[in-house]
Amino acid sequence: MQRLQRLSVFYALTYLLSIVSADYLPFREHAGASFFDGWAYYGNVDNTTWGNVTYLDQPGAQTKGLTFINAAGNAVIKVDNTSTLAPPLAQGDVVNRDSIRLTSIDTYGIGSLIIIDVLHLPYGCSVWPSFWTYGMQEEWPNAGEIDIIEGINNMQHNQIALHTPTGCFQAPNPPQSGTTLETDCSTDRGCIVAETKPNSFGPGFAQAGGGVYAVQMDTSGIYVWFWSRPDVPMNIQTATSTDKMSLSTWGMPSAAYPVSACNVTQYFPPQNLVLLTSLCGAWAAVPDIYQSTCKTPTGSCFFDNVLGPPSNFDEAYWEVKYVRTYFSEDLPRPSSSSSSISSTPTASATQSDASAKSSGKTLTSSAMLSYIFSETSATLTLLFSVVVTSMFWV
């Protein structure tokens, strides 16, 4: 253990020294009228986290107004907040609210830097937004996953995590400002770091004017930063899409995963970016978790929210100024290939992605069973009520 701690200190110092002179070259900017270029719309139900959403394809999203560029020139990606949904009429019927899931055509390997400037994150009871990466080359989690932005319901802070197969850990005493919750990246929960800076999620994030998140995939490790709007480094504030990016003034990251305890080159082949908003599902709807921040009439994530007034989702939207990606001069450029992903999920992509998000967010099998039992009971209660009411009026 002492040897591992010494190695952690060594790699931390190596990292801090390396960023002083590190410059990243611009690769891609998603912003303004062309923001949605280079993304694939999922066009399927949420078959990965069992959320109560249907992710629209691009024509459907544009027709329904769930993705658009607003008057400020920012991208808006939202959950349907205008439709009133009818309850299921029979056990097993699927009732979903429309939402959006975007996956980047480009892939990003070690040597990449990704920055996202966000003015508003989706939040509220049942709401589960995330911005993350994953490798599609193998069945999850063999090609890794990096959760950059993620939270549920009325959480007040962002949660960062890695997901990998066996053998990757977060090293002891990493150079980070966040609080480590889990260190084994191969568990269902992954190796988790909770953001400790204020206004990283929820209404506080929006009230502060949003903020900026960044992830660096380096040979020395993987690092994630967050800055609330007043604290965004000057070189990010003033950068254009063609400027190089230096990390020398960024300070300590929120989460650090040094290579001393995880061979990131081995565990993280090129990654696709994913931005989505799910509802309820295998994390947000687990009864104990849901009810810890959401006090609703029946305690059911689905019935009290998804089937509730559509205005429940007035805050369930992303407003993104840009996503900018960079690459190190010393390492290979990111890959850009229009054939790397389809807007309609292939069987292999769906299978690996389903494993990733379901296993990664299902806290325990007992919690999932509790969720299923709770929602099934609520369904039966509602069906009984419908039948009795029908008999009365007949």
Backbone angles phi, psi at 121, to 5 degrees: -110, 145
pLDDT tier for residue 12 given thresholds of 50, 70 and 90: low
Answer whether 250's CB lies under 8 Å from 335's CB: no
In this predicted structure, the answer to whether residue 10 has a pLDDT above a threshold of 70 is no
Asked whether the predicted pLDDT for residue 225 surpasses 90, the reply is yes
Q: Check residue 17 and give its pLDDT.
A: 53
Q: Is 211 exposed, middle or buried (0-12, 13-18, 19+ CB in 10 A)?
A: buried
Task: Provide the 10 A C-beta neighbour count for residue 172.
Answer: 17
Over the stretch 341-381, which tens digit does the pLDDT of each residue have? 544 443 333 333 433 343 334 333 344 444 444 444 444 43
177: left (phi over 0), alpha (psi -120 to 50) or beta: alpha
Beta strand 53-55 pairing with 97-99: parallel
Q: Is 284 exposed, middle or buried (0-12, 13-18, 19+ CB in 10 A)?
A: buried
Segments of 81-220 assigned E as strands: 97-99, 101-108, 112-120, 127-134, 145-150, 159-163, 179-180, 191-194, 211-218
pLDDT value at residue 367: 40
Render 366-385 in DSSP notation, one character per residue.
Answer: HHHHHHHHHHHHHHHHHHHH
| Torsion on CA atoms 268, 273, 277, 282, rounded to nearest 10 | -20
Which pLDDT score is estimated for 393? 37
Task: Return d(Cα 118, Cα 211) in angstroms, integer.
Answer: 6
Write the CB contacts of 85 (distance below 8 Å, at least 6 apart in sequence).
95, 97, 306, 307
Mean pLDDT of 204-232: 99
Entry pTM: 0.86
CA 48/CA 273 separation, integer angstroms: 16
